[in-house]
Amino acid sequence: MSRTFERSADAPHVTRKRFGQHFLHDEEIISRIVQAVAPMPGQRLIEIGPGEGAITLPLLRKAGKLTVIELDRDLVPRIKARCEGIGEVEIINADVLNVDLSQLAGNASKLRIIGNLPYNISSPILFHCITHLDAIEDMIFMLQKEVVDRMAAAPGSKVYGRLSVMLQLACRVEPLLPVPPQAFRPPPKVDSAVVRLTPLPREQRPVELLDSIARLVRAAFGQRRKTLSNSLDGLASADDLRAVDIDPRARAEQISPPSFVRLAEFLARQQTG
């Protein structure tokens, strides 16, 4: 589900079912999101899914310049018209999954990315963003609350999973505020939440091992009811697991992100030894 930020009630945009649009109109929520971003002139701001500009306009007033990525081509002229006279806005009419975020940053300051993420493709967008972390300062997103809960979940939680591990190895995950259905027009059937993702320093991220970690995590959580010795069969043996202090009888949701890193490091040494 996509939630598009929209404040003006005059000649409202007709929501598009294929985008699952829900327009944010709650002034207090809008203000708290802008406060969380705290934009400054000279920062490289990128907004995903600006809708009709409820967040775009206050960001633009404070920063003077920003780039928006909007998939709905019918919204593009409305965004342009509303931003006229407020600041400089670059509009990219595209699917964010097809946008090279690192290229957007170029040699300028790192990107600060803001916006809503459509629920049906929120995980692909998050994974797309973490492949460009060297170009990103921070990210503030609105998503379905269930997704934010998964992002921040600790080992042992029922919602701890692949998304939790991969994001926490890349970023500090900080839930900021809940957003009720009544804050949108029309109200969605789920609660939403705003979260801040701050990339960890490169030296704290397992950059070189990311592909092997991703394979292990995908296999482990792909059969999360099985013990690791079964779900990781063909990738890691019971002896490999014991060598890094992982119980082969444990299940994926019991294993911390650093433990997956230790396992990947051990397997890499085995292959080169």
Res 108: pLDDT: 74
> What is the CATH topology of the domain spanning 2-204?
Rossmann fold (3.40.50)
pTM of the model: 0.89
Res 21: pLDDT: 61
Flag the least confident range among 71-75, 125-129, 244-248, 256-260: 71-75
With a pLDDT cut of 70, the percent of the chain lying above it is 92
Mean pLDDT in residue range 55-80: 93
Res 4: pLDDT: 47
Q: What are the tens digits of pLDDT across the range 132-178?
A: 999 999 999 999 999 999 999 999 999 999 999 999 999 999 999 99
Task: Indicate the residue type of 256.
Answer: S
Res 273: pLDDT: 64
Residue 107 has pLDDT above 50, yes or no: yes
Cα separation, 112 vs 94, in Å, equals 18
Helical (H) or strand (E) element with 122 = helix 122-130
Q: What are the tens digits of pLDDT across the range 7-32?
A: 333 444 444 444 456 778 889 999 99
Domain 207-272 CATH (choose: 3.50.50.60, 3.40.718.10, 1.10.8.100, 3.40.220.10): 1.10.8.100
Domain borders along the chain are: 2-204, 207-272
pLDDT category of residue 118 using cuts at 50, 70 and 90? confident
Res 9: pLDDT: 35
Flag the least confident range among 86-95, 100-109, 205-214: 100-109
Mean pLDDT in residue range 95-100: 96
**Which has the closest alpha carbon to 139: 202, 77, 46?**
46
More confident call, 183 vs 138: 138
What is the overall mean pLDDT for the chain?
A: 90
Give the pairing of strands 192-199 and 136-144: antiparallel
**Which has the closest alpha carbon to 86: 116, 69, 63, 102?**
63
Cα separation, 54 vs 77, in Å, equals 15
Whether the CB-CB separation of 224 and 161 falls below 8 Å is answered with: yes
Res 187: pLDDT: 87
